[in-house]
């Protein structure tokens, strides 16, 4: 009887001990999990254009406010380097990988590798093609092209055009072109407009745009009235070529990104317009959803997903923001009042 009582007491003590350990361990484990800082990998194709510096800085700032650390890599438009950098970010144990692809077609293996490690992948600004991307966040890039094309055809409803496309490795360039041609093609078909030049600009390089424009001007004997420039960097190269021929300010030139140099060209009259994509909003939203995915939320649970974009393999859930056309008439309203630039930056001290 005595042995039985001792046995029962021993069992109760053992149970109490286990329960005590359980209560001691669970809070400690929960605390460790909640205190683990989220790591986000941000792979940038380039920092060539002014805008990518803003994307990076705004993304890092927004993520930091949410308690996340961002590991940033920039590949200088080198496909091999960018893939290696992504592999390095995966090996560092990032919770989410955010990629701005230089070449939209080469990331299938990287995304597969990330998924094997349990890491979701966000395609930022430029769509990664033919891969199982978890989320795409950008502006409505067809709309960007539509704004450029509508502006150009309104200002120059007849005459000769040069059409510059963005980098052929960038899916966005295709979308910009599609949007712009919705307005240009009908005028070509009617005979009101002749497209004397239509080529992509490798790697979005201004010096390449300069070279191509010089050749196009020579072939056309300087007879051009409108130029579709896909972004502000290429517009800068194109305008340099126009200046050499005394044509700067006489030819309508589009753009995109609202770079400060482009805004100053718009004020001086050598560039006609740009498309403003407020990357502060884009970067902030991307940081928010990256943190939510890192915490285990599903893409279907994210706020702001407003469409799907086919990438050649799947319809990628997407968050698409709205771009705005900017010219001399609304620089103050759109760019200065929003805080994108100060008045002093745009107009200089008065």
pLDDT mean over 141-147: 97
Least confident of 28-37, 45-54, 279-288, 303-312: 28-37
**pLDDT for residue 304 is more than 60:** yes
Using a pLDDT cut of 70, give the percent of the chain over it.
90
pLDDT of 21: 39
Selection from 298, 286, 305, 295 nearest residue 122 by Cα: 286
Helices 141-155 and 171-190, interaxial angle, to 10°?
A: 30
Q: What is the pLDDT of residues 173-229, one digit of tens each?
A: 999 999 999 999 999 999 999 999 999 999 999 999 999 999 999 999 999 999 999
pLDDT of 268: 96
Do 185 and 221 touch, CB atoms closer than 8 A? no
| Residue 105 to residue 272: CA distance in whole angstroms | 33
pLDDT of 10: 53
| Residue 240 to residue 150: CA distance in whole angstroms | 24
13 against 129, higher pLDDT: 129
pTM for the predicted model, two decimal places: 0.81
pLDDT mean over 289-311: 95
| Residue 233 to residue 257: CA distance in whole angstroms | 9
pLDDT of 22: 40
pLDDT of 186: 98
| Residue 314 to residue 307: CA distance in whole angstroms | 13
**pLDDT for residue 3 is more than 70:** no
Cα angle value 162/164/169 (rounded, 5°): 160
pLDDT of 225: 98
Cα angle value 309/314/316 (rounded, 5°): 40
What region, left, alpha or beta, does residue 320 occupy, with left being phi > 0 and alpha being psi -120 to 50 degrees?
Answer: beta
**pLDDT for residue 27 is more than 90:** no
* Arithmetic mean of pLDDT over the chain: 91
Q: What is the pLDDT of residues 8-20, one digit of tens each?
A: 445 544 544 444 4
Do 128 and 115 touch, CB atoms closer than 8 A? no
pLDDT of 36: 83
| Residue 40 to residue 73: CA distance in whole angstroms | 11
Q: What is the pLDDT of residues 60-76, one digit of tens each?
A: 999 999 999 999 999 99
pLDDT mean over 149-154: 98
Q: Each residue of 145-169: b (16+ CB within 10 Å) or e?
A: bbbbbbbbbeebeeebbbbbbbbeb
- Strand order through the sheet with 135-139: 68-74, 38-44, 96-99, 121-124, 135-139, 315-321, 307-310
pLDDT of 34: 46
**pLDDT for residue 350 is more than 70:** no
Other beta carbons within 10 angstroms of residue 82's beta carbon come to 26
pLDDT of 48: 87
């Amino acid at each position: 009887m005595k042995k039985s009582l001792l046995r029962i007491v021993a069992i109760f003590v053992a149970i109490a001990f286990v329960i005590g350990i359980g209560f001691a361990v669970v809070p400690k484990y929960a605390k460790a999990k909640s205190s683990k800082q989220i790591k986000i990998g941000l792979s940038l194709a380039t920092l060539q254009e002014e805008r990518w510096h803003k994307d990076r800085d705004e993304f890092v700032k927004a993520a930091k406010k949410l308690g996340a650390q961002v590991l940033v890599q920039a590949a200088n438009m080198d496909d091999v380097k960018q893939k290696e950098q992504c592999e390095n970010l995966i090996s560092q144990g990032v919770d989410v990988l955010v990629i701005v692809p230089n070449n939209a077609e080469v990331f299938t293996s990287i995304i597969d590798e990330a998924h094997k490690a349990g890491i979701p992948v966000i395609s930022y600004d430029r769509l990664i093609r033919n891969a199982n991307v978890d989320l795409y966040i950008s502006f409505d890039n067809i709309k960007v092209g539509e704004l450029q094309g509508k502006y150009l055809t309104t200002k120059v409803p007849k005459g000769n055009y040069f059409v510059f496309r963005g980098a052929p490795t960038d899916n966005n360039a295709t979308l910009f072109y599609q949007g712009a041609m919705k307005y240009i093609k009908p005028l070509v078909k009617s005979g009101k407009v002749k497209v004397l030049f239509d080529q992509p600009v490798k790697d979005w390089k201004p010096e390449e745009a300069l070279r191509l424009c010089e050749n196009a001007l020579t072939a056309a004997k300087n007879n051009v009235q409108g130029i579709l420039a896909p972004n502000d960097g290429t517009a800068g190269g194109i305008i340099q070529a126009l200046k050499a021929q005394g044509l700067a300010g006489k030819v309508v030139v589009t753009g995109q990104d609202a770079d400060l140099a482009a805004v100053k060209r718009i004020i001086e009259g050598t560039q006609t317009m740009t498309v403003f994509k407020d990357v502060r909003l884009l970067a902030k939203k991307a940081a928010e959803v990256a943190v939510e995915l890192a915490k285990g939320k599903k893409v279907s649970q994210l706020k702001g997903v407003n469409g799907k974009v086919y990438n050649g393999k799947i319809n990628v859930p997407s968050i698409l923001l709205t771009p705005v056309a900017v010219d001399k008439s609304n620089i103050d309203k759109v760019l200065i009042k929003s805080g994108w630039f100060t008045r002093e930056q745009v107009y200089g001290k008065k």
